[in-house]
Chain A
Amino acid sequence: MERNLHYLKGSFLKDRLFANNFIITLLFVLLALAPLFLSDFRTNLLGKFIAYAILALGIDLIWGYTGILSLGHGVYFGLGAYCMAMYLKLEASNGKLPDFMSWSGQKVLPWFWKPFVYAPVAIILSVLVPAILALIIGYLTFKNRIKGVYFSILTQALSIIFVVLFVGQQAYTGGTNGITNFKTIFGFPLSSSSTKVTLYYVALGFLILAFLFCRWIVQSRFGKVLIAIRDSENRARFSGYNPAIYKTFVYCISAGLAGLAGALFVPQVGIISPAEMGIVPSVEMVIWVAIGGRGTLVGAVIGAILVNSLKSMVSEGFPAAWSYFIGISFVAVVIFMPYGLAGLLNQIKRKIYTQKSVKQYSSAALNILEESGCDEYVG
């Protein structure tokens, strides 16, 4: 009987872990095989969604695990993307001044553009710049215990500010049009299909790395503290943890992931404009995680890829319907399935397992009763 129970408990946990691992492995294998079946255009599109999935992992870390709702992640995504775009633009301009600068009357390359001539610098900065901005914003707000909706509203204002700033400083940022017209990346032409497929696999590689990294964080002691902060910040504080430090740190990681996503986004899409940093895209990023399932890393990845695939399918056919669809699904998800698709999956799984274990328990109980000679009660 004892052994029986242990077996049941062990198998339940193992099955769940196995199921989650199974889903994510299957997803990664499918993504790895996808370019064999899809056209170049679709592969490119899927590559873009993979970049979004990295961003979604970052949002899940702060929202699903730490309970911080940031509505300004478009900014971090955009900053990473702009860093990469500056490198691509300089490579395309071939040592000359980028075209939009000369249009706006700029004579020399601004000083902060200069480091972006070097690819490694651009790649590192595309992660570092968002992380440093997040460090400043996060430290100032979390230290003063500005939390919950107040933080969300401030991040939303942050995203407006950056859009206005980037649109306004046309000579340095390309204004409303953003930065576009790239030619090559590390010397390879961006338009060729082999570069596109390579970029796709690079993005997928980074997604797998980011996923493993996030899982490592979540399963570590640090991750447990994050969950504690989400569930009861004051209790965590009274237990001797400093939530501000933890929150700032995880906010920086999240921003860094967003920056990485941006850097992978630009060479595949070929343009970055302030519109990508605005409030609407920023909230949409949260929607992916909400629909996929906050608090599970698998959910974030699935949500980002699924919602965006749906979006491109629906808006190709009926552009107007997309707003209704996303609006209604958002209301429905928040009200009826707050833990998203992954949560729904877990609910169903739990139901099946409980039924299964009830059956096994009852048969185990029958055995015990029979062994102890209480047949008359069983009858």
Chain B
Amino acid sequence: MDTYLLQIFNGISVSSVLLLAALGLAITFGLMKIINMAHGEMIMIGAYTTYMVQNLFISFLGDRYFDLYFIAAIPLSFLITGFVGYLLEISIVKRLYGRTLDSLLATWGISLILQQLARNIFGAPNVDVKSPAWLNGGVVVLSNIQLPYKRLFIILLAALCIAGVYLFLFKSDSGRRIRAVMQNRSMAESLGINTRKVDSMTFAIGSGLAGIAGCALTLLGSIGPTLGTNYIVDTFMVVVLGGVGRIIGTVAGAAAIGIGNTTFEYFTNASLGKVLVFLAVILFLQWKPQGFFSISSRVLDE
């Protein structure tokens, strides 16, 4: 039972990473109907940014300030990944609006290029990021259960990001514009909203969130050029299961997939666990094809 509790806890922390990645994806998909297969590579870019920030701290600031590098890495990975996302949007993605399946294929091509770039720059073998000292150790809850600070920190980070995205979308002017474009693009356009600008900004923010996910992932293990591919499908499943266009749906989807994975894995084994989760998702979609939460709409052809 104790191990199971620990498993659930691990599941929640994996969910948080998935959630961070899926959040950006859900927004881009909901807003622009673009399936960004290069989203996984955004996670990778975030992770490598963290790696570079760590190396810069080591070579320029020495040991004294080393522990602070992670604090700097979080916003930097958001900014750099967001910028890469912005470049992608204005160069390639903008030509793909209205062609959802094509966007999936083209962005897959982009992801191949980015992976190979990472391989050329950082080398094919995985690299390690040393976590800061203040994240080592953990909270002892019961006699034999220890919750690692790293995983707690990831959960906290995800919660902060959710809160940030919520505030941004619902309390700021830019967020209101994004929601307006999401709900009715042509009406928003005629009311004077620059939808091009909203699109590229949203894409950048979505990518930036994936960058933070990548930054968080460095705490859980070593990173490599194909880091993103391991997460992209799970991330998409989160979006499909949760329903498009609602933050709460993404949260629920991430929790269901993350905890479902660890639970099934605990009771069977790693390979059967994944199969069972997939079956459960397929069966669930039989009942609710739109996912947990969806914006009701009278549009026939989505």
Contacts and interface: CB of A to CB of B under 8 A. Distances in A.
A327 B301 contact: no
A161 B278 contact: yes
A160 B286 contact: no
B10 interface: no
A334 B96 contact: yes
Nearest to B273: A164
A75 to B, nearest CB: 12
A373 to B, nearest CB: 52
Contact of B240 (A150, A160, A280): A150
For the residues of B in contact with A, the DSSP-based class is: helix
Contact of B113 (A154, A328, A334): A328
B187 to A, nearest CB: 23
B35 interface: yes
A154 B240 contact: yes
Nearest to B112: A327
A160 B119 contact: no
Contacts of B275: 161, 164-165
Interface string A138-162: 0011001110111011101110110
A152 to B, nearest CB: 6
Given A327-B112, A330-B112, A149 B106 contact: no
Interface residues of B, number: 43
A280 B285 CA distance: 25
Interface in A262-320: 279-280, 283, 286-287, 290, 320
A145 B286 CA distance: 9
Contact of A152 (B29, B104, B237): B104
B112 A326 contact: yes
A324 B271 contact: no
Contacts of A365: none
Interface string A160-178: 1100110111000000000
B263 interface: no
Given A140-B286, A158-B278, A168 B270 contact: yes
Contacts of B285: 141, 144, 146, 150, 154
**Size class of the contact patch on chain A:** 35 or more
A161 B274 contact: yes
Interface in A11-27: none
B281 A157 contact: yes
A35 interface: no
A343 interface: no
A181 interface: no
Interface in B220-240: 229, 233, 236-237, 239-240
A331 B274 contact: no
B237 A153 contact: yes
A165 B239 CA distance: 24
B35 A331 contact: no
Contact of A323 (B35, B112, B278): B112
Interface of A: 67, 69, 137, 140-141, 144-146, 148-150, 152-154, 156-158, 160-161, 164-165, 167-169, 232-234, 279-280, 283, 286-287, 290, 320, 323-324, 326-331, 334-335, 338
12 contacts: A137-B282, A141-B282, A146-B289, A150-B289, A152-B104, A161-B278, A320-B119, A327-B112, A328-B109, A330-B105, A334-B102, A335-B106
A-B pairs with the 6 shortest C-beta distances? Answer: A168-B271, A330-B109, A327-B112, A323-B116, A327-B113, A334-B106
Interface of B: 29, 35, 92, 95-96, 99-102, 104-106, 108-113, 115-116, 119-120, 229, 233, 236-237, 239-240, 269-272, 274-275, 278, 281-282, 285-286, 289, 300-302
